[in-house]
Amino acid sequence: MQPDDLTRQVRTRIHVCGCGCWVWTGATSHDGYGRFKHKGKVTVTHRYVYDKAFGDLDDDLTIDHLCDRHRTCCNPEHLEQITKTVNSERANQRRFHDAPPDTTNCTPIRPTNGEGEP
């Protein structure tokens, strides 16, 4: 799947970084995750993209980011659906390996004008 497969509202706000991440350049919520209004409902971007890619989004499960370079990354290849228990176990483990994220391949994120023009 490519960003072009997504609805215009979403794909025009995704910047594909040199590291492979799909960085959301649109609005974010207080927790730092991307969001947008979809059919009148505020929707979390990476959950929406995950569902478009794999079609098995479960509201009781959490989406974990396998990459830690960009908090707003929504590349479905970097997302994994897991239980809340597994998520908190992973969060605990990560606290012990506080290595800074590897951003050597990152390219500057294109500024967005808020209109999401490509």
Residues of the shown chain interacting with Zn ion in the complex, contacts defined by CB under 5 A? 17, 19, 21, 67, 69, 73, 75, 78, 106
Yes or no: say if 111 and 95 are a contact pair by the CB < 8 Å rule.
Answer: no
Q: Whole-number minimum distance, CB 117 to Zn ion, in Å?
A: 21
- Around Cβ 20, how many Cβ atoms within 10 Å? 14
DSSP secondary structure code for residue 47 in this structure:
H
Q: Whole-number minimum distance, CB 101 to Zn ion, in Å?
A: 9
Q: Whole-number minimum distance, CB 39 to Zn ion, in Å?
A: 26
Helices (runs of H) and strands (runs of E) counted in the chain: 3, 6
Q: Between residues 14 and 19, which has the closer beta carbon with respect to Zn ion?
A: 19
